[in-house]
Structure 1
Amino acid sequence: MITFTNSGLYCAAGDFYIDPWKPVTRAVITHAHSDHARLGSRYYLCENATVPLLQLRLGQDINVQGIAYNEAIYFNGVKVTLHPAGHIIGSAQIRLEKDGEVWVVSGDYKLENDGLSSPFEPVKCHTFITESTFGLPIYRWAPQEEIFSGIGQWVDDNRQSGKASVLLAYSLGKAQRVMQHLQHKTEKFLVHGAIANTHEALVHNGWKLPPIEHITPDTPKSAFPNSIIIAPPSADVSWMKKFSPYALGICSGWMTVRGNMRRQNADAGFALSDHADWPGLLSAVKATGAEKVYVTHGFSSVFARYLHEQGIAAEEVVTAYGEEENGNIVNN
């Protein structure tokens, strides 16, 4: 039902693309991260909560339609429904059905309920297209309560040393998750402009998020000591100098490999990801009951080979996903 083209995942029967990386006439979007939602298409379909995020990132004048999870829409006889992916707010798996055949495109997903995103729901299908960002056995996440407890202790230690705590977290998804779970540690978070813009869009559309203060050139230096500062991975080191003395922590699944923390010149690394780990990927694939699995971005060849060894027909597919914020390793 889906073919893999130079523009993206194409459903010829319905004449639409899913997360195209080139401009197309009709695009169905799994979520608002920049590697899955790109400018230039004539029409976009997404989950309701993703609409303001697409407008924030692609422009208010885009032609976008939002639908609820499990609400059906038809394109030339192809039934399309969206189902929670648990990746970020508004993220969805795309289910396609025609003549009794069912395909599911997962986009990006995680199985642990983060307290903000609608929790991942496995969808039965004949063919499943899965990501494999962390498709190696070394990637196994600790429960998020344990991770956030460690981050909280790190913040306390920094305060005892008279330092601000700067946490790098992707501006859409990770930043909101971090603030949600650390709000008991501060009256308000100080945040980078990219995070402030996302925060404003979400609050304007009814999401209840912790209080923030947008850091500007006018923010007094007296605001920084002992504070919790949230910045995207793209934040420049020169921008952070104003916070001195501070400690730098990175929230990313890539922090499982300690060398990544050293290469980023960070003081601490926390293996917090909005993607499924190795056991999560395997659990998700099994829960679909799919007879055929296509594996995209990440360790796709390794994961596809492992599935094949387990008796599941699996194949690696090359896509243009997995390069959020210029592919910086701390995004995931």
Structure 2
Amino acid sequence: MIRYEDLLRPTPEGLYCPPGDFHIDPVAPVARAVVTHGHSDHARSGHGTVLATPQTLAIMAERYGEDFAGRREALAYGERTERDGVEVSLVPAGHVLGSAQAVIRWRGLTMVASGDYKRRRDPTCAPFEPVPCHVFVSEATFGLPVFVHPPAEDEVARLVQSLRQFPERAHLVGAYALGKAQRVIRLLREAGWERPVYVHGALERLNRLYKREGVELGPLAPATGLPPNSLGGEVVIAPPSATQDRWSRRFADPVRAFASGWMLVRARARQRGVELPLVLSDHADWPELTATFAELRPEEVWITHGREEGLLRWCELNGQAARALRLVGYDEEDEESGPEGEDQATERS
């Protein structure tokens, strides 16, 4: 009788598929890797072969250089490939551009490694697609009942309201370079903000990549070479750490904002000196996580990188078999130090 661990098992390098001889989002260089998305805690350089969506491969090349792996294998959403009798396909995860769930099938067994995901609408990436499976591997970044995130549109409306209320002040929004920054910009456009959005240099390359992939961001301008007290009444998007350093002093009495699911925890906002916390996450909150489990009803849920205990308890109370993988090496809310310098200002939501 086939056991789940015969197809996927946790190892120090990450989830490993013995019959296919590959890892999923390995945290150290391996011979063959399946990468779910481009955040640097999941997409590392130095692997022999990387299989991912075309967008994720493009993001990795942008961040690490064209030689980030010995070989690339692009697999579009819905396509299937086979490795030593193991079928692999990628379906949207709704996290960031190109993010995917890895669907692994072998001898009648289906396991889904979802990577990072969210269930709510995001105008910058394909929405999450549920896949019936025997085992669903889920993140738990916001795996506590307290984490109920408001609608993203409402949070961006608060930003627009503040711009109208304080037209003499620059609004400096901290947002991670991959996914969050582009989502904030796109939501601003949908809210009717037509003026140029000013961006920190660490965001420019990924913004261009998003545009090449068909995500319309509207007029953007560099937030560089400006005189003191600049950009009153304008929006500036920057890596979170840049909003706290000397770079930010050029702006007119800035309103410091931060777009992150962790802004629901007011103590974190105070610690960062955030005047306008925007609760905007690229991860599933508690209702999304538990609704996904209830919708899929897999034979087992495997829970990893985050608040595992809360979700384990929910599963126990709801008759869902579950276990914690306790994988290490994955950051919360993508608070990453990216190789292209988004944390060299210094700079995972």
TM-score, normalised relative to structure 2:
0.90
Deviates more, 1:232-241 or 1:248-257: 232-241
1:92-103 correspondence runs (5 A): 92-103=100-111
**Structure 2 SS opposite 1:170:** coil
CA–CA distance in 1 between the matches of 2:263 and 2:91?
Answer: 29
> CA contact under 8 A between 1:252 and 1:331: conserved in structure 2?
no
Q: Quote the offset at 1:215 in angstroms.
A: 2.4
Q: Quote the offset at 1:311 in angstroms.
A: 1.1
> CA contact under 8 A between 1:85 and 1:118: conserved in structure 2?
yes
> CA contact under 8 A between 2:77 and 2:92: conserved in structure 1?
yes
**Measured at CA, do residues 258 and 131 of structure 1 come closer, stay the same or move farther in structure 2, by a change above 3 Å?**
same
**Measured at CA, do residues 205 and 257 of structure 1 come closer, stay the same or move farther in structure 2, by a change above 3 Å?**
closer
Deviates more, 1:185-194 or 1:167-176: 185-194
Tell me the number of residue pairs that the alignment of Structure 1 and Structure 2 aligns. 328
Please tell me the residue identity of whatever aligns with 1:227: E
1:36-185 correspondence runs (5 A): 36-62=42-68, 63-159=71-167, 162-183=168-189, 184-185=192-193
**Measured at CA, do residues 325 and 147 of structure 1 come closer, stay the same or move farther in structure 2, by a change above 3 Å?**
closer
Match of 2:335 among 301, 304, 325: 325
Match of 1:190 in 2: 198
Q: Quote the offset at 1:208 in angstroms.
A: 2.5
Match of 1:214 in 2: 222
Match of 2:17 among 11, 22, 46: 11
Match of 1:265 in 2: 273
Deviation sequence 1:142-194 (CA, Å, 0-9, x none)? 222222212211222221xx100001111111111100011232421111112
Q: Quote the offset at 1:201 in angstroms.
A: 2.1
Match of 2:248 among 226, 237, 240: 240
Deviation sequence 1:261-289 (CA, Å, 0-9, x none)? 11111111111111111110011122222
Q: Which runs of 4+ in 1 moved over 6 A?
A: none
> CA contact under 8 A between 2:336 and 2:348: conserved in structure 1?
no
CA–CA distance in 1 between the matches of 2:317 and 2:90?
Answer: 30
Q: Quote the offset at 1:300 in angstroms.
A: 1.0
Deviation sequence 1:297-318 (CA, Å, 0-9, x none)? 1111221222122111111112
Q: Quote the offset at 1:66 in angstroms.
A: 1.6
Match of 1:35 in 2: 41
Q: Quote the offset at 1:205 in angstroms.
A: 4.1
Please tell me the residue identity of whatever aligns with 1:282: T
> CA contact under 8 A between 1:169 and 1:331: conserved in structure 2?
no
CA–CA distance in 1 between the matches of 2:103 and 2:230?
Answer: 48
CA–CA distance in 1 between the matches of 2:274 and 2:121?
Answer: 27
CA–CA distance in 2 between the matches of 1:219 and 1:203?
Answer: 25
CA–CA distance in 2 between the matches of 1:273 and 1:120?
Answer: 15
Q: Quote the offset at 1:209 in angstroms.
A: 2.2
Q: Quote the offset at 1:326 in angstroms.
A: 4.1
> CA contact under 8 A between 1:191 and 1:231: conserved in structure 2?
yes
> CA contact under 8 A between 1:109 and 1:275: conserved in structure 2?
yes
TM-score, normalised relative to structure 1:
0.94
Please tell me the residue identity of whatever aligns with 1:52: A
* Percent of matched pairs sharing the same residue: 38
**Structure 1 SS opposite 2:47:** coil
CA–CA distance in 2 between the matches of 1:140 and 1:170?
Answer: 21
Deviates more, 1:307-316 or 1:164-173: 307-316
**Structure 2 SS opposite 1:274:** coil
CA–CA distance in 1 between the matches of 2:170 and 2:253?
Answer: 6
Please tell me the residue identity of whatever aligns with 1:312: Q
Please tell me the residue identity of whatever aligns with 2:44: R
Task: Say yes or no: does 1:305 pair with 2:313.
Answer: yes
Match of 2:4 in 1: none
Structure 2: stretches of 5+ with no match in the other structure:
1-6, 338-342
Deviates more, 1:116-125 or 1:234-243: 234-243
**Structure 1 SS opposite 2:257:** strand
Q: Quote the offset at 1:206 in angstroms.
A: 3.9
